[in-house]
Amino acid sequence: MSVTVSLPTHVPVLLNETIEGLQVQPGRYFIDCTVGSGGHAAAILERILPSGKLLGIDADSEAIRIAEARFSDYSEVVSLVNDNFVNLKAICSKYKFYPVDGILLDLGVSSQQLDTAQRGFSFQREAPLDMRFDSRQGLTAADIINTFPEQELAHIIKEYGEERHSRRIAQHVVQSRPITSTVQLAQVVEQVLGRKRARIHPATRTFMAFRIAVNRELDNLKVALEQTINLLRFRGRLVVISYHSLEDRIVKEFMRREASSCLCPPGTIVCRCGHVPSLKLISRKAIRPTSLEIESNPRSRSAKMRIAERLK
């Protein structure tokens, strides 16, 4: 049974690999923690009908609105929640949706968010400096850019954007205040770095840094990952797709730690930590998109997928 699509959608990244990694089968229960426009969710839903169930979560109310319209004929098997996955355990408790057979996190900003100019995620169009996944949240990128001290701005740009010129950019940002639009911020960064940079626009890393700071993406990811373990049933799968090194490092370290039989410091003769592995690594190395997928969907080029399976 196929799920009819009649609304704007994005092209889901690593779709076949996601379905295979989650081991999607009829009658099983799955959580899509970043349901977005429903690309991955639709493919999961097709394969779990008629008796399986799907819980979709997204901090973006517009994404939930699109997903609700898309899955309106499946309200008995699909539950959609406008919330941040940092609250995953509480959401599952509220909806009595556990244990589950698989959990998916497709991280970062969605195509729909990037393509909606007024959201302020992209410097390609003039827009307010918003960058919030959840519009109910108070703090915006404009608040950070125009009120945070120079030293703190430099820290954000360096730590979250991995930008080696963070101090110079932060200094110029403070000197250029008030900065009110995406294009203005991009121009400020460009004045510092120029345009002679390979592959990406000079403002890309700075924009990413402020987006991560606004939405507390890395902190929320760490908290959510810890909650996934006890929500998965035996042999349930955790699949995470990340798009930059900071996210992937968090996911990799979490999965490796939970798959380890000992967490004692190196050189410890006798294990004293008592750690019991809760996960088994399915993919020792990150799974990457094929050249064909990258050609058809350029936004997939930086994607990395990691898979782990719940142990008893």
Give the residue extent of every domain in the chain. 15-106+217-310, 117-215
Structure tokens of 84? 């941040």
pLDDT score recorded for residue 6 = 42
Q: Do 203 and 172 form a contact (C-beta atoms < 8 A)?
A: no
Confidence (pLDDT) at 120: 83
Query: Given 3.30.300.10, 3.40.50.2300, 3.40.50.150, 3.10.20.30, which CATH number is that of 15-106+217-310?
Result: 3.40.50.150
* pLDDT given at position 17: 98
- In the numeric block, the tokens 């909806």 are attached to 95
Tens-place pLDDT, residues 16-39:
999 999 999 999 999 999 999 899
Topology (CATH level 3) of domain 117-215: DNA polymerase; domain 1 (1.10.150)
The residue type of 92 is C
Specify the 3-state DSSP secondary structure of 158.
Answer: helix
Residue spans of the chain under pLDDT 70: 1-10, 196-198
Smallest Cα–Cα separation from 43: which of 79, 82, 35, 228?
35
Which pLDDT does position 187 carry in this prediction? 95
Cα separation, 15 vs 19, whole angstroms:
6
CA 311 to chain centre: 24
- Tell me the pLDDT tens digit for each residue of 132-163: 999 999 999 999 999 999 999 999 999 999 99
C-alpha torsion angle, residues 69, 16, 212, 170 (rounded to 10): -120
| CB-CB neighbours of 276 under 10 Å | 10
Helical axes 182-193 vs 166-176, angle rounded to 10°: 130
SS3 state of residue 223 = helix
Give residue 151's pLDDT.
98
The first and second tokens of residue 201, run together, are 């626009």
Output the six-digit token pair for 133: 């996944």
Output the six-digit token pair for 166. Answer: 């963070």
